[in-house]
Chains A and B, each alone.
Chain A
Amino acid sequence: MHHAWIDGAPAELAAAAATAARLLDASRQPVIAGLGADVAGARAATALAQRIGAAIDHMNADALLRDLDVMREAGVMLTTPSEASLRADTLLLAGPGLTEEWNELPQRLLCARTVEPGAGADRRKFWLCPRASWLDDDDRSGSIHNISVIGRETGDLPVLLAALRARVNGRPHGFARLSPSFPQALDGLADALKAARFGVAVWSAAELDALTVEMLCGLVADLNATTRFSGLPLPPGDNAIGVLQVCGWMTGFPPRTGLGRSYPDHDPWRYRAARLVDSGEADCVLWISAYRAKAPEWSGSRPTVALAPADTRFPKPPRVHIAVGAPGRDHDGVEHHPMMGTLAAVTAARRSGALSVADAIAAIAAHLADAPPSC
């Protein structure tokens, strides 16, 4: 089985790495994109970006930065999935995409019983504007008991949250026109949230805009005036949170940061990989997707070096493709743990000889023209 290709043709790893290094060396504005990698891969990619002056982005940075924007504009109260699972007596699920982002959500949160003293065995569950198709699936909704659903259209969520926050704070709202039963349901919900002993709001920024997330976080903060409530943003996939952490401690900033200047330059618009490629500003792409066989979505013809599974199907063969394994399957690694909400070591489930992203980057870096910095 081959592990490397140049222009779609099988190649030795050393030749592929050397070709990749030549492409990166020749580039005026490289971008490291995708960045679906474990912590070691993200560390290697960030160090490489510094060395070659690349911008770095993550394939799920849209969702990642939406949550981050709320934190760095307004402030947030957060909890971990494990704390929510153990302690929440009230769950407020907001918007669609929750089970898609965390497929263990039903058994971890919706069906689970709290084990902590003080939390009732019967967890109260409310879901604002779930995806209609999910609710209509009898098999799914039938397995989860006692979820009160309020609102069905995702587009109603911002208005609903605003009205709910007004009612929680004892203020009037003008949204009765949404449906005749709406004000009553909303008042009931506001009372239920205020009666929570430890409530948790759950959302996925993949399908919400930042202002909606901010309204929800504001609601959570307001509820803490009298009771305890916290927030649980579901992490985007492809180890987005792990990469965020690495990028944070290595550069001081989240992804969408340029390292081509003499200082890290964080600009979510400017360093969005798709924009850099579509506009032609980036003239070389290092695409990384270790967790799944995913190719970049843009159509540009920029020279691309791909570190991705062997079976990744590209619309057009990248100049260089080096096959990498998946952390936790082919090799050991460290990644964000979806249940504990922290970085954790994972052991290879089916250890293979596949390269890790860090290995592949080391192979490429060995062929770069300039020497690594000595201090």
Chain B
Amino acid sequence: MLTRIEGGRIIDPANGRDEIGDIWMRDGRIVDAPPGASADATYDATGKIVMAGAIDIHSHIAGWNVNTARLLLPEFRLGSPARPGAKPLSSAGWPAFEIGCLYAAMGFTTVVEPAVSPHYALHAHLELADIPIIDKATLAVLGNDDFLLGLIHRKEDRAAVQDYVAWTLGATRSLGVKVINPGGAAAFKENVRTFSFDDVVPSCGVSSREIVKTLQHAVNALGVPHPLHVHCNNLGIAGSADTALTTIAAAEGLPLHLAHLQFYGYGKEGGRGFSSEAARLAEAVNAAKSVTIDVGQVMFGQTVTVSLDVLRQFNARNQARPRKWAILDGDGNGAGIVPYNYRSADFYNAVQWAVGMELFLLIDDPWRVFFTTDHPNGAPFTAYPEILALLMSRDLRAQWMAGLPAEAVAVTTLPSISREYTFTEIATMTRAAPARLLGLRDRGHLGAGAIADVAVYEDERDRARMFRAAALVFRRGELVVRDGKPTKQVFGCALAVEPERDRAIDRRLKAYYEERYGISDDIIKVPDHAIGRPAPFELISCAH
């Protein structure tokens, strides 16, 4: 089947294109225009914007945490404003089915669930398998698990850590590795209440810095395309910018990704001891070429924070609105679910919103700043269209700022920033750069050979309206969305890496699980047959 998308403005920064032209698709891939051929199906994109399917590198869409948030908040209908009509299970608010439909409607075709505690990997993959249309991936969370802390404490050689990381990635079918408040969850079990980059877990004497550096080297040495994904210590507190700056400096020229940097953009200036440090952070990111970040933009409204940063969530439990929460002291990682309402009239929330905008606008390389709300922590992903509109219009930002507490705006640099994102920068940040960051060579662009995930938008003045409901979305060459409405129920796969390892680690972990838990290490493994859908995984190759 040969399909042609005709006459649209093609924005494809990976291939340096911004021009009117056609896109041809055959058997699920983009192909060069076949000379003399006529398409079996043609879609008119005249006057429309054509981009590759968007990729979200950090959105909490599945797993124990997310599901517990649903069960904690039966009164919520998160992500429901644009919910599609009579679809199976579509009207429940935010079940798995609806997540896929809502993402696809915005032109997203690949989404990464970035916080899967290894023991919960099967649960996460089962949930992901019930999210339609989009492809998915998970990041496995290490850094608070006793096995790794033991390896570091005993100063075992780097090969042992690499083998363990490779074993974890393979067993849990993950695309990369994340650390979340490294050491913090372990220390919290020992009644530590604050934990910074050079603090140590009391029982093993291992610092957060050692954990980050050990895993950064292991991920790099294994050739896993996605660099170590770091959720720093001290999230959300005044002065957290120092922690982020320390962590950026610790990258030492090797790839390192800092997640939802907005939540670390706070200083202690001003009458309330809470101010924006976004400019300082942006300057540091601009200078540290091996570092990438995603923003974690805050938008106003009710949401729920879900995180494996149990220490942070425990400390935030008294700010829960509504007043209820769930905190888990789990194996290897903790977890916490704390509902929260960001209010535009609130000084602190207004500063948070501005810090996110500043980071987007002051980090000058769109290949190194990624588009996230840390869904649902800063805002549900359904707020993306409004954020894109804000990035593309200083006038719109000025309108928003006029509605915020003046003293909040005053502790930021946002009023002085005139930058407006171009379509090419938007497509870089949401397509080309995420594909490169995750090692997905055949996604995020529209060159021949790419997977034919394509989004076509009306070129509307109201950018939020434009990005909320794509005119057409193709998944592997097949039309799945028309005018923002899903047209077909298909299910994608999860992308995973499987780096090489010395199989001696398998025997060691088998013995570890048997001695420690009295059970088989099979507990952690995610077999294909357990997922209940055909071809549930796609292997992404490592550098070596």
Interface residues of A (CB under 8 A from B): 39-40, 43, 46-47, 50-51, 68, 71-80, 82-83, 85-87, 108, 115-118, 197-198, 224, 227-228, 230, 244-246, 248-254, 259, 262-264, 266, 332, 334, 337, 339-345, 347, 358, 373-375
Q: A75-B317, A251-B95, A342-B119 are in contact. Are A227 and B330 (CB under 8 A)?
A: no
In the complex, how many residue pairs between chain A and chain B have their CB atoms under 8 Å apart? 178
Q: Which B positions have Cβ atoms within 8 angstroms of A?
A: 62, 64, 66-68, 70-74, 77, 86-89, 91-97, 119-120, 122-123, 126-127, 130, 146, 188-191, 202-204, 314, 317, 320, 323-331, 486-489, 516-519, 522-523, 525-527, 529-530, 532
How far is A254 from B92 in the complex, measured between Cα atoms in Å? 12
A43 touches B324 (CB 8 A): no
Contacts of B89 in A (CB 8 A): 46, 50, 250-251, 259, 264
A263 proximity list for chain B (CB < 8 A): 91-92
| B530 contacts A332, C-beta separation under 8 Å | yes
Contact B73 A344 (CB under 8 A): no
> Which chain A positions have C-beta within 8 A of B86?
262
Which residues from chain A contact B203 at a C-beta distance below 8 Å? 116-118
Given A252-B77, A345-B527, 7 other A-B residues pairs in contact with their CB atoms under 8 A: A74-B324, A77-B326, A77-B329, A83-B189, A87-B189, A374-B488, A375-B486
Which residue of A82, A224, A264 contacts B331 across the interface (Cβ within 8 Å)?
A82
Query: Do residues A339 and B519 form an inter-chain contact, with CB atoms below 8 A?
Result: yes
Q: How far is the CA of A87 from the CA of B527 in the complex (A)?
A: 30
Q: How far is the CB of A197 from chain B (nearest CB, A)?
A: 7
Contact, CB under 8 Å: A342 / B486: no
Pull 22 A–B residue pairs with CB atoms less than 8 Å apart, ordered by A.
A50-B89, A77-B329, A86-B517, A108-B518, A118-B203, A227-B191, A230-B329, A245-B67, A249-B96, A250-B89, A250-B95, A250-B130, A253-B70, A264-B92, A332-B530, A334-B530, A337-B523, A339-B517, A340-B519, A342-B123, A343-B123, A373-B88
Contact B91 A264 (CB under 8 A): yes
B329 contacts A197, CB within 8 Å?
A: no
Residue of A77, A342, A374 ringed by the most chain B CB atoms within 10 A:
A342
The answer for the CA separation of A116 and B203 in the assembled complex, in Å, is: 9
* Pairwise interchain contact B74-A266, C-beta atoms closer than 8 A: yes
A340 touches B88 (CB 8 A): no
* CB-based closest 6 A-B pairs: A252-B92, A263-B91, A375-B489, A117-B203, A79-B329, A343-B123
Shortest beta-carbon distance, A361 to chain B, in Å?
Answer: 12
Q: How close is A309's CB to chain B, nearest CB, in angstroms?
A: 22
Contact (Cβ within 8 A) B73 A72: yes
Question: Given A250-B97, A251-B95, are A344 and B523 neighbors across the interface (CB < 8 Å)?
Answer: yes
Residues of B near A86 (CB, < 8 A) are: 516-517
Q: Is the CB of B191 within 8 A of A197?
A: yes
Contact of A71 among B188, B324, B527 (CB under 8 A): B324
Contact B324 A373 (CB under 8 A): no
Given contacts A245-B123, A342-B122, A252 and B93 within 8 Å (CB-CB): yes
Contact for B120 among A251, A342, A358, CB less than 8 A: A342
> How distant is B308 from chain A, measured CB to nearest CB, in Å?
14
Partner of A75, one of B324, B522, B530, B532: B324
Pairwise interchain contact B516-A115, C-beta atoms closer than 8 A: yes
Complex alpha-carbon distance, A165 and B93, angstroms: 38
Interface hub of B72, B77, B329, B516 (most chain A Cβ within 10 A): B329
Q: Inside 8 A of B326's CB, which chain A residues have their CB? A: 71, 75-78
Q: How far is the CA of A250 from the CA of B126 in the complex (A)?
A: 11
With the chains together, A348 CA to B97 CA distance in Å? 30
B330 pairs with A79, CB closer than 8 A: yes
A50 to B518, CA, bound (A): 40
Complex Cα distance, B92 from A51, in Å, reads 15
Residue from B64, B89, B91, B487 with most neighbouring chain A CB atoms (10 Å):
B89
CA distance A50 to B91 in the complex (A): 11
- A247–chain B nearest beta-carbon distance, Å: 9
Q: What is the chain A residue whose CB lies nearest that of B63?
A: A249
A46 to B189, CA, bound (A): 38
Q: Is the CB of A80 within 8 A of B331?
A: yes
A209 CB, min distance to chain B CBs, angstroms: 19
Shortest C-beta distance, A41 to chain B (Å), equals 10
- Chain A residue nearest to B525 in the complex (CB): A345
- Nearest chain A CB to B5 CB, angstrom units: 21
**How far, in whole Å, are A115 and B74 apart by their CA atoms in the complex?**
39
Given that A50-B88, A71-B71, A253-B74 are known contacts, is A77 also in contact with B327, CB under 8 Å in the complex? yes
Question: Is B532 in contact with A40, judged by CB distance below 8 angstroms?
Answer: yes
Which residue of A51, A87, A345 contacts B122 across the interface (Cβ within 8 Å)? A345
Contact residue among B72, B130, B519 (Cβ-Cβ distance under 8 Å from A43)? B130
Contact of B92 among A115, A116, A253, A340 (CB under 8 A): A253
Contact B487 A375 (CB under 8 A): yes
In the complex the two chains form, what is the Cα distance from A232 to B22 in whole Å? 59
Residues of chain A within 8 A (CB-CB) of B317 are: 75
Q: How far is the CA of A345 from the CA of B74 in the complex (A)?
A: 28
Task: Give CA–CA (A149, B123) in the complex, Å.
Answer: 38
State A266–B522 Cα separation when bound (angstroms): 35
Of all chain B residues, the one with the shortest Cβ separation from A85 is B517
Q: Are B71 and A72 in contact (CB under 8 A)?
A: yes
- Kindly state the separation between the CA atoms of A374 and B480 in the bound complex, as whole angstroms: 12
Closest to A264 in B: B92
Known: A82-B331, A340-B331. A75 touches B325 (CB 8 A): yes
Q: Which residues of B contact A87 (CB under 8 A)?
A: 189
Smallest beta-carbon distance A76→chain B, Å: 5
Residue pair A249, B190 in contact (C-beta under 8 Å): no
- Once the chains bind, are B190 and A197 in contact (CB under 8 Å)? yes
B191 touches A343 (CB 8 A): no
Cα(A332)–Cα(B527), bound, Å? 11
Q: Is the CB of A339 within 8 A of B67?
A: no
**Residues of chain A lying within 8 A (CB to CB) of residue B189:** 83, 87, 198, 228
Known A118-B190, A197-B190; contact A252-B94, beta-carbon cutoff 8 A: yes
**Complex alpha-carbon distance, A83 and B330, angstroms:** 7
Complexed CA–CA distance, A175 and B94 (Å)? 46
**Known contacts A252-B93, A342-B119, A345-B525; A72 and B72 CB within 8 A of each other:** yes
Residues of B within 8 A of A230 (CB): 327, 329
Q: Tell whether, in the assembled complex, residue A248 and residue B489 are in contact, meaning their CB atoms are under 8 Å apart.
A: no
Which chain B residue shows the least CB distance to A51?
B88
Chain B residue, CB-CB nearest to A242: B123
Enumerate chain B residues within 8 angstroms of A253, measured Cβ to Cβ.
70-71, 74, 92
Q: In the complex the two chains form, what is the Cα distance from A67 to B330 in whole Å?
A: 18
Bound-state Cα–Cα, A72 to B324, Å: 7
**Residues of chain A contacted by B523 (CB below 8 angstroms):** 337, 340, 342, 344
B334 smallest CB distance to A (angstroms): 9
Query: A74: which B residues are within 8 A, CB to CB?
Result: 324
The complex places the Cα of A125 from the Cα of B279 at a distance, in Å, of 54
Contact in complex: A39, B314 (CB < 8 Å): no
